[in-house]
Structure 1
Amino acid sequence: MTAMAAAKEQFPRRRLTAVAAILIAGLLTVLLTRPAETAVSFTPLSGLMTLKATAAEAVPYEVAIANPKPTLIEFYADWCTTCQAMSPTVAALHQQYAERLNFVMLDVDRPQWASQVSDYGASGVPQFTLLDSEQQVVKTWVGKVPKAVFKTVFDQILG
């Protein structure tokens, strides 16, 4: 093999090595420079598991509507990646406020909640509807909501 042929054979390997190095450097930059709050690892599977666990711990809709505590209703769907991503936030809020606030989760894909989906105008998921102690709508959010936003409103309504 001539020196020229050997050099031509080495070129694709060098190019591949350079591309891999650039990709690794980019990934490391993203991982090392993102804010600490988003550094929590999230995978769709972990989000779905948290979503299911939070739904299992939620107060049944009928119980929440019948008691005098304010209520946060989350309209969600298992397939919704934003719902899955929000599940750790909702779970943390549930732990902090469960004594003073009902947490209800209604799966929009279940026909039994069609009336509530319509009554509360849930046209997207996740939708979070906050009811006061008289079960009147105080606030509605759709999509990803920062934990601090929820806490501010919860603290206001709970006094």
Structure 2
Amino acid sequence: QEWKYEGDKPCIIDFYADWCQPCKMVAPILEEISEEYADQLYVYKVDTEVEQELAAVFGIRSIPSMLFVPMNDRPQMAVGALPKNTIEQAMKEVLGVEVKAA
């Protein structure tokens, strides 16, 4: 069965766990992004310990993993603790979000 995103804005889905140190580094960056770009995208967080079935559906093998979900194109997965500029680059290229100048 195919998963279909039905949101009204593109989104980033952050797959994390409380015991994961790199996830803790990414969390404040995504918090910042969710506030700065609230009008352009959603940021969802999925605790892979709690939502094991959901993590399995998305094929999560390591965390942190971020799924960039555009409105009309294929989602793209990024794995690892990415810096803010890399996340913003993906937001621009994959999600078509207008990224603010640093």
For 2:62, the equivalent position in structure 1 comes to 124
TM-score (norm 2): 0.79
For 2:79, the equivalent position in structure 1 comes to 142
Amino acid corresponding to residue 75 of structure 1 in structure 2: F
User: Is it true that 1:106 corresponds to 2:64 in the alignment?
Assistant: no
Q: CA deviation at 1:78?
A: 0.8
Please tell me whether the aligned partners of residues 70 and 135 of structure 1 are also in contact (alpha carbons under 8 angstroms). no
Inter-partner Cα distance in structure 2 for 1:150 and 1:130: 9
Q: CA deviation at 1:155?
A: 2.3
Describe the SS at the equivalent of 1:149.
helix
Runs of 4+ deviating beyond 2 Å: 113-116
Amino acid corresponding to residue 158 of structure 1 in structure 2: V
Please tell me whether the aligned partners of residues 108 and 114 of structure 1 are also in contact (alpha carbons under 8 angstroms). yes
**How many residues in Structure 1 have an aligned counterpart in Structure 2?**
92
Please tell me whether the aligned partners of residues 76 and 105 of structure 1 are also in contact (alpha carbons under 8 angstroms). yes
Q: What CA deviation, in whole Å up to 9, does each residue of 1:121-159 have, x standing for no partner? A: 11111100101114731x211111011011122123225
Inter-partner Cα distance in structure 1 for 2:49 and 2:53: 12
Q: What CA deviation, in whole Å up to 9, does each residue of 1:79-104 have, x standing for no partner? A: 11111111121111111112111111
Inter-partner Cα distance in structure 2 for 1:78 and 1:126: 11
Inter-partner Cα distance in structure 2 for 1:154 and 1:117: 22
Inter-partner Cα distance in structure 1 for 2:25 and 2:97: 26
Inter-partner Cα distance in structure 1 for 2:64 and 2:34: 16
User: Equivalent residues in 2 for 1:55-94 (5 A)?
Assistant: 65-94=5-34
Please tell me whether the aligned partners of residues 68 and 90 of structure 2 are also in contact (alpha carbons under 8 angstroms). no
| Structure-2 change in CA distance of 1:135 and 1:118 (3 Å) | farther
Rg larger in structure: 1
For 1:55, the equivalent position in structure 2 comes to none
Q: Which has the higher contact order (CA 8 A, sep 6+)?
A: 2
RMSD: 1.7
